Amino acid sequence: MTNHSPAPWKIEGGESRRVFLINDHKGNAVGEIVYSDTRNESDAKLIAAAPDLLEALEAIAASVYMEDTDFYPDCCFNTAMQMVFDALKKAEGMPQ
């Protein structure tokens, strides 16, 4: 397990402020991307989805390799796959 700011991470700001801020669930800054081109918003979405992607990967790993279930002892494959799909949607900026 890692020791990062807990999910969810959210994006604030945008073109009008020329900065995308990535904040944790308490509003604390996790990172920022200074706006320079259209890729920056996609980058911010991917960064904001990082903890969700990590959680989904841990769940898949635990469901596939049941002998090491420190991450998700109650995880089943279908639940883990739903976490993967939700995290991918968030990373791509799609509604969840």
Q: What is the pLDDT along the chain (96 residues), one digit of tens a residue?
A: 467 787 888 888 766 667 888 898 898 888 888 876 666 778 888 888 888 888 888 877 777 666 554 555 555 777 878 888 888 888 887 877
Residue 76: per-residue pLDDT: 72
Helix-helix angle 50-64:77-91, to 10 degrees: 160
Residue 67: per-residue pLDDT: 54
User: Under a CB-based contact definition with an 8 Å cutoff, are residues 86 and 56 in contact?
Assistant: yes
Ranges of each domain in the chain:
1-48, 51-96
Strand boundaries in the chain, DSSP class E: 10-14, 19-23, 29-34
User: With a threshold of 0.75, does the pTM exceed it?
Assistant: no
Residue 70: per-residue pLDDT: 55
